[in-house]
Structure 1
Amino acid sequence: MPPEPRFPVTVIVPTYRRPERLAHCLAALSRQTLAPAQVIVTVRDDDPDSAAVATRFAGALPLEVAVVAVPGVVAAINRGIDQAQGDIVAITDDDAAPHPDWVERIEAWYHADERVGGVGGRDHVFHDGVPETGAARDVGRLQWFGRVIGNHHIGTGAARDVDVLKGANWSFRLSAIGALRLNTRLRGDGAQVQNELDFSLRMRRRGWRLVYDPSVAVDHFPSTRHDIDRRGAAGFHPRAKENAAFNDTLALMAHFGPVHRAVFAAWALLIGTSEFPGLAQGLRLALLRRDRHAAAKLRATLRGRVAGFRDGRKTDERETPA
């Protein structure tokens, strides 16, 4: 029996002012066991160095450079999706290097079940050349009261259905996406944290399966973000925390029905997490962890939460909340 025909895969790489990392990513894509049918590098109009790096790989890859003027990863990925021609759209970060069988493993999943709308996998995180260690079976799950469990970077075991994929390593069936795009209401001028949560939950509400397979892997070298959310490079920034809390809240308010919204609001404000502290977690950060930014993190999170609760009630999505 002849093998099934391959689905053409478009790879999107949003980038901004990390030309050396971009070169590493594109070199990894040029070594794939199943060559992508199209590679779209989305660059900002004020980042000629990244555009020049992408152009150098035009001979090794079916590469296109898409220039965007709007800041943020949301606009960059949306532009890539608009330009995608493959049946499958795979997205990775410019500071990631997909393993050689990344495209091949992604493509195979979409033959397995026509209900699969999205596939992602593990991003092996490296800090100064040293990989993070750990093993988790609970990955990409939304708990009923609103806590999101990530662990995509340390997921182990068999492939499983999840609620949320991670933006360093995710893919979608183009026909499942349809007219859907990343949410332009999300705040931020760069990373626009929690964009994956929002988009994944919207796909789940449409009835699509999202699969996390640890063998669909990339090496991830988290690099400086050239906006106020600079991760560990420049410490805590209250506006970045507020934006992230807003985005998290907006995504969950759109996903939950009225009862779950009330439960989520109570949990988020009174308890929360170390990343997005409510009152209890704020006290824990201050008293047990001796975090000198504890009070500022709590204030910023609460500002983002309140704004997200307000704007979340105004959602104009056509999907009915779960």
Structure 2
Amino acid sequence: MTQAVPAPPTTSVVVVSRGRPSGVRRTLLSLRQQDHPALECVVVADASGLAAIRDLPFFSRLKTVEFDVPNISAARNRGLDLAAGDVIAFIDDDAVAEPTWIRRLAAPFADTKVQAATGFVRGRNGISWQWKAMKVDGLGQDHPMEVPAQASFHHPQGGRATKTVGTNAAFRRQALVQLGGFDPAFHFFLDETDLNMRLAAAGMVTAVVPDAVVHHQYSASPRRARDRTPRDLSQIGASLACFLRLHCAETDQQAARDRARAEQRRRLLAHVVAGGLEPRDVHRLLDGFDAGFVQGSERALRSDMWDAPGPPAFRAMPVPTALRCFCAGYPFERSKLHNQARAVAEAGGVATVLLLSPSVRYMQVSFSDEGIWWHRGGTFGRVSRDGPHFRLRSFRRAAEVERLRVAKFRQ
């Protein structure tokens, strides 16, 4: 007799957005496609972000609050005020989620030991992994983890915490209440890492779920250009100072600061070599890092933490539709395939369009403003970036391979 799979817990997804109206709209279109049966979405955004989503057909099912302070921890805590799910998840406004993301990320919470969970993140090309599994220590240093293909549970060990990446993370609401949410001292950078260290100090278990997948674009912001060229390192320096004060022995803090500064310098020099920065920019940006570190050394810690008010009633998103389509064709058939996919997407379904040219073009995946998944590549080209550069195969075979590759994420 087969055992029934427990229903995933009620889940709230909090999306913080500032200065990215088109991005937050795409994020929400991807959340509309989620196959989780009890999901609510909380949007904490500036006026432009809220204006951009007001015409979405499911806008009335969203919980929204206007917030225009450049402090991601304070914004997340504001979202927690409204989030009523037993599990609370987070995704960035320059990311979109595979339709099975939140159901898979929330599933481990059926085990009462689990207090946090994180998934894997694909980068800008929609194929390569930007983030997998990491531990983090009291110096703020990441350490890669080897994890199985299925969800795995990890206890804190040796002063290290399992790191939840900010654009693909979930926490049991009860754990967030116990720990006071996010520390507003972390305006940007290491905000969720500080929470991870507090989870570890409390002996809480974190799940890593490789099949809970998010695509992350690294959109432009006041801190970085679209190609990730830094524009300002002051908040990185400030948050590092806060983190070291909280989690690093005082005798080790100066060495940790110097190591982090050297890493930033190496990163800046790589951008100089690539042509994104000029040599004088290196000194300016490092001066900003130094000034931020001094500011963070004096900043109040864990003041005005989240006090867990009773949230409004759970407001579920519309029941997910079972509509699915996978349309494959040549680039000259784009218009016809687009029309087929758009009808499914407008009905709240999951639409995937594959355009294959007779070439060795690498596969690229994107998610459009209409809520359509676009896959573009060559019949003979590589998908995985460590795969062969050339594969002799028919159009039909290439299309079937790609359909099967994405099927488990878009069932």
Normalising by structure 2, what TM-score?
A: 0.61
CA distance in structure 1 between the partners assigned to 2:103 and 2:60 by the alignment: 16
Letter of the structure 1 residue corresponding to residue 141 of structure 2: V
CA distance in structure 2 between the partners assigned to 1:65 and 1:134 by the alignment: 31
Among 149, 172, 186, the residue aligned to 2:142: 149
CA distance in structure 1 between the partners assigned to 2:59 and 2:271 by the alignment: 52
Structure 1 position 169, deviation (Å) = 0.9
Superposed CA offset, 1:280-304 (max 9, x none): x699879999972443344333333
The alpha-carbon distance between structure 1 residues 157 and 291, as it changes in their structure 2 partners (threshold 3 A), is: farther
Larger radius of gyration: 2
The alpha-carbon distance between structure 1 residues 76 and 143, as it changes in their structure 2 partners (threshold 3 A), is: closer
The alpha-carbon distance between structure 1 residues 21 and 236, as it changes in their structure 2 partners (threshold 3 A), is: closer
- Quick check: 2:135–2:144 contact (8 Å CA) kept in 1? no
Q: Which runs of 5+ in 1 are unaligned?
A: none
1:254 matched to 2:250? no
CA distance in structure 2 between the partners assigned to 1:55 and 1:197 by the alignment: 33
Q: Which runs of 5+ in 2 are unaligned?
A: 155-160, 306-411
- Quick check: 1:202–1:255 contact (8 Å CA) kept in 2? no
Q: Which residue of 1 aligns with 2:128?
A: 133
Q: Which residue of 1 aligns with 2:122?
A: 124
Q: Which residue of 2 aligns with 1:165?
A: 164
Q: Which residue of 2 aligns with 1:264?
A: 253
The alpha-carbon distance between structure 1 residues 252 and 60, as it changes in their structure 2 partners (threshold 3 A), is: same
Letter of the structure 2 residue corresponding to residue 265 of structure 1: Q
Superposed CA offset, 1:115-134 (max 9, x none): 221111112110xxx24636
CA distance in structure 2 between the partners assigned to 1:261 and 1:306 by the alignment: 15
Q: Which residue of 1 aligns with 2:288?
A: 300
Among 197, 201, 204, the residue aligned to 1:208: 204
CA distance in structure 2 between the partners assigned to 1:230 and 1:177 by the alignment: 30
Alignment coverage as a number of residue pairs: 292
Superposed CA offset, 1:169-189 (max 9, x none): 1111001100612211234xx
The alpha-carbon distance between structure 1 residues 218 and 284, as it changes in their structure 2 partners (threshold 3 A), is: closer
CA distance in structure 2 between the partners assigned to 1:286 and 1:17 by the alignment: 25
CA distance in structure 2 between the partners assigned to 1:5 and 1:168 by the alignment: 24
Give the 3-state SS of the residue equivalent to 2:118 in structure 1: strand
Give the 3-state SS of the residue equivalent to 1:272 in structure 2: helix
Q: Which residue of 1 aligns with 2:183?
A: 183
Superposed CA offset, 1:187-242 (max 9, x none): 4xxxx2222222222222222222332211111122122xx3134469543xx312
1:51 matched to 2:50? yes
Once superposed, what is the RMSD of the aligned Cα atoms?
A: 3.6
Superposed CA offset, 1:17-37 (max 9, x none): 323222221121111121443
In terms of mean alpha carbon deviation, does 89-98 or 300-309 score higher? 300-309
Structure 1 position 59, deviation (Å) = 2.8
In terms of mean alpha carbon deviation, does 90-99 or 300-309 score higher? 300-309
The alpha-carbon distance between structure 1 residues 91 and 284, as it changes in their structure 2 partners (threshold 3 A), is: closer
- Quick check: 2:94–2:216 contact (8 Å CA) kept in 1? yes
Q: Which residue of 1 aligns with 2:235?
A: 243
Give the 3-state SS of the residue equivalent to 1:97 in structure 2: strand
The alpha-carbon distance between structure 1 residues 19 and 155, as it changes in their structure 2 partners (threshold 3 A), is: farther
Give the 3-state SS of the residue equivalent to 2:119 in structure 1: strand
CA distance in structure 1 between the partners assigned to 2:23 and 2:272 by the alignment: 39
The alpha-carbon distance between structure 1 residues 306 and 17, as it changes in their structure 2 partners (threshold 3 A), is: closer
Structure 1 position 42, deviation (Å) = 1.2
- Quick check: 1:89–1:172 contact (8 Å CA) kept in 2? yes
CA distance in structure 2 between the partners assigned to 1:215 and 1:7 by the alignment: 18
The alpha-carbon distance between structure 1 residues 81 and 135, as it changes in their structure 2 partners (threshold 3 A), is: closer
